[in-house]
Structure 1
């Protein structure tokens, strides 16, 4: 849910939105703010953003694909298969695609708070720290080598004497994951939605000593503003699932390496390379067909810069945590889109918030929807 809208002028809103497009690698030919050159692999895309919301895996794959024009779904699955991209519970209690090199740092910052938020549910399910510790050893052994399906991992938990009835099995998997023991890697054979669980100790790359919690927080906060900026401290705290105070302190310590702008009563922080783009921000003519849950919209607590408040419930119907696919033109969300038909007859259809766009703009949007269909086939 968005907070109260920023009190920005139309010019300021458009500038912030378009600089975010550039920061996130959504403008062809302009590298994401954290990359020296445009992304060429799925790993580049995920590394540029640090983490990407991914509870809906097929849509998360398109979130990578839309930032890598011309690639196909198979390339994203290949990145999951070779470990250059992983999926895990990273922040806010939801699944994320992340750069595997960030795994330890991310859990050092977020795991304690996520565990605290889940304490009540675990108590209701009679899940104890001792049981989690015991099953962490079970998972480490079962997921070594070629990994394990969700069903195989749950069966191992059951064989070890733990109940997996109802949602208890799911909560056990999350608890073990937050201990850094397992991550999700290659796709299960024949599935586009389920992945194998892999033992983190053998699956993740060697990265040397992990930074302490303060160092990890500084790294994640800097990465957020460079990859998502211009954004506010409140946006970053929401993204990480942390209170404002530690994030504000981390931003203050990063003052020499982040640029700030006072707009509409808020302070926006962003990467240094955007300093000279304020006057002429790129992306005015950009047209994008974004997945649901995309970082361009979901990566901020206040989304009113790109999505007017009067249209928010169209994108998040029922306010139940579901984000529909959207069309962004010049950094502004102007429509939702969906798939119709099946098989070779499947097509994309967009639903504008207001009047139908002109013929030229409609052709541009249709071409972006066709690009998604091609992505699904490759």
Structure 2
């Protein structure tokens, strides 16, 4: 199977993109593929997707909010405070919002590979396995109960004899997190970007214990295709940060649980209950003001069904890993949006890829951006 699927027709691209909207819970009247009814809480949204990229926490919070009409930022912060949603390092070496019940499965599948990728950096920082093991116990103790701020955790590392100079402290926190000892939970008092670190053993429903790696991979792969499909094996492998071979094997073992179809010579897998939607994919009139780093784009290795290649560098200027906020209309990314001003004077502005939209479409886009501004104040 090619890593990048062959070119699809316009009709096929639109069908795939709009089915992804439905699978991801981006069409309010249609439940996400993994939910029996529309999401009612932030935990429902995250559980439906399994995990959501979240190195930029405010953007990730809107990623939940855009799938939960009427919710405010306070509702997402409350979910982090009660542990129904957590944030941790997971796939691809980045932070994710995840369903806490998947924490053990995620680390069982991805931690070994992430640790291997970080080995060179740890060697440069003189971080040894013995030090990580020692600091895991320091973190477990310091983050028990009410948790610890990043500064408090680093101070505990330093007090135990470890250097936290430069980026060393950050790499130590990641290393300990990948051991399953700590996760990020409630917001630090007065902050919208920083969270407390909590001891996984007491904060997570299963104590953070990893399951069998094979069962964990099957759970994550099935969840990915049901919540992100139609998608390819290459998309799923990229999402998890894994080679193609184990993902292909997991897909083969799941047959016939998932639905599949071949487009442009490539197999797309999806939630079987979406099979009947191919004839009339939903979401043709949908308009969304999405956050940067949203799963609708970042959940796939190949994003061309929703974002034509000629516009990709507008969304990721300089190819530096930063994804701008986007506007999706009928499943197609038609431009970016940005904020200007502060406080009550804050406003949004749509930046189209092509000509300015007509009056009706412009009103729809403005209304979606206004929903974000209300979310920020809620």
State the TM-score, normalizing by the size of structure 1: 0.98
- Is contact 1:7-1:265 (8 Å) kept? no
Matches within 5 A, 1:118-133: 118-133=118-133
Compared with structure 1, are the counterparts of its residues 208 and 362 closer, same or farther at alpha carbon in structure 2 (3 Å cutoff)? closer
Q: Is 1:183–1:197's contact at 8 Å kept on the other side of the alignment?
A: yes
| Residue 34 of structure 1 pairs with residue 34 of structure 2 | yes
Count of residue correspondences = 376
Separation in structure 1 between the aligned mates of residue 233 and residue 206 of structure 2, nearest angstrom:
32
Q: Deviations over 1:116-169 (max 9, x none)?
A: 000000000000000000000000000000000000000000000000000000
- 3-state secondary structure, aligned to 1:92: helix
Quote the residue 1:60 is aligned against. 60
Deviation at 1:206, TM superposition (A): 2.8
In structure 1, stretches of 5+ residues that fail to align are none
Q: Quick check: 1:373 aligned with 2:373?
A: yes
Q: CA deviation at 1:29?
A: 1.0
How far the C-alpha of 1:5 sits from its partner, in A, is 6.3
Structure 2 match to 1:72: 72
| Aligned match of 1:16 | 16
CA shift digits 1:253-294 (9 cap, x unpaired):
111101111001111000011100000000000000000000
Q: Are the counterparts in 2 of residues 237 and 244 from structure 1 also a CA contact under 8 Å? A: yes
Which residue does the alignment assign to 1:204? Answer: 204
Contact 1:5 1:309 in 2 (8 A): no
Distance in 1, matches of 2:107 and 2:72, equals 30
Distance 1:45 1:179 in 2: 26
* Alpha-carbon contact 2:104-2:208 (below 8 Å) kept: no
Partners of 1:50 and 1:141 in 2: CA distance:
28
Segments of structure 2 that go 5 or more residues without pairing to the other structure are none
RMSD: 1.0
Aligned to 1:299: 299
Q: Deviations over 1:283-324 (max 9, x none)?
A: 000000000000000000000010000000000000000000
**What's the TM-score, normalizing by structure 2?**
0.98
Query: Aligned in 2, Cα 1:307/1:5: closer, same or farther, shift over 3 Å?
Result: farther
Q: Distance in 2 between matches of 1:268 and 1:4?
A: 12
User: Are 1:183 and 2:183 counterparts?
Assistant: yes
Answering whether residue 234 of structure 2 is matched by residue 222 of structure 1, we say no
- Where 1:97 maps in the other structure, the secondary structure is strand
* Displaced runs of 4 or more, over 2 A: 3-6, 206-211
Structure-1 residue corresponding to 2:277: 277
Superposed, 1:89-100 pairs within 5 Å as 89-100=89-100
CA apart distance, 1:6: 3.9
Question: 2: CA distance between counterparts of 1:363 and 1:126?
Answer: 56
Residue of structure 1 in register with 2:249 after alignment: 249
Match of 2:162, SS? coil
Query: CA distance change for structure 1 residues 165 and 209 in 2, over 3 Å: closer, same or farther?
Result: closer
Asked if the contact 2:89–2:178 (Cα under 8 Å) also holds between the matched residues in 1, the reply is: yes
